Amino acid sequence: MDVNEGRLRILGETAKSHQVAGLITAIYSDLRVFAETKEVKYDKLLLDAPCSGIGVLSKLNMPGGFLIYSTCSIDPEENQGRVEAFLLRHPEFSVDPVDRLVPSSFVTSQGVFLSNPVKHSLDGAFAARLVRAL
Ligand SMILES: C[S@@+](CC[C@H](N)C(=O)[O-])C[C@H]1O[C@@H](n2cnc3c(N)ncnc32)[C@H](O)[C@@H]1O
């Protein structure tokens, strides 16, 4: 399933070229709408969700360059959790604290930006400034 018709077309063409077109059912739909309106049940689901691409983006960063990872989420798993996982895989990067760049009430103990709807009366957002070693 995909909301992007072009991606489904490419999937269809690829499946055809590999002689597996008959095994695939492509559904052009928004998953949120589909899940609310259809009664179907599956025993296995794989969600290949849109992501920031941070894993491949890092390859484009020159030594000494910065990589900003940002979300519009306040969920620690989508924020600091992802940053920590990334830093474990990429020891050439470290957090460059943002305390000299934004007001201190937005800076977490990890040195990253976090706005909170309750604390700041703003939409929630997260941004970590990472720097690649020289
Ligand atoms: C990481 S890509 C994976 C696509 C596919 N699995 C592949 O490998 O080419 C994420 C896909 O989710 C689709 N998408 C985003 N929001 C969606 C939604 N609400 N319902 C269905 N598909 C969605 C995007 O169009 C995009 O093609």
- Supply the pLDDT for residue 42: 84
pLDDT tens per residue across span 97-123: 999 999 999 999 999 999 999 999 999
For atom 1 of ligand 1, the residue with the nearest CA is: 50
- Burial of residue 59 (CB within 10 Å: 0-12, 13-18, 19+) is exposed
51 is catalytic: no
Q: Please tell me the predicted confidence (pLDDT) of residue 40.
A: 86
Separation between Cα atoms, residue 71 and residue 128, nearest integer Å: 9
Q: 38 CB under 6 A from ligand 1?
A: no
Domain borders along the chain are 1-50, 54-132
Output the pLDDT for position 26: 95
pLDDT of residue 93: 95
**In the prediction, which pLDDT does 50 show?**
77
What CATH superfamily classification does 54-132 receive? Vaccinia Virus protein VP39 (3.40.50.150)
Band of residue 95 on the pLDDT scale cut at 50, 70, 90: very high
d(CA 108, CA 126): 10
Q: Ligand 1 mean position to 132 CA, how many Å?
A: 30
Does 1 sit in the ligand 1 pocket, CB within 6 Å? yes
Q: Which residues contact 129 (CB under 8 A, 6 or more apart)?
A: 66, 67, 68, 95, 96, 97, 98, 101, 112, 113
Burial of 87 (0-12, 13-18, 19+ CB in 10 A): middle
CA distances from 36 to 1, 2, 29, 32 (A): 14, 15, 12, 6
Evaluate: CB of 31 within 6 angstroms of ligand 1: yes
Q: What is the pLDDT of residues 30-89, one digit of tens each?
A: 999 998 999 888 888 887 877 777 777 778 888 999 999 999 899 999 999 999 999 999
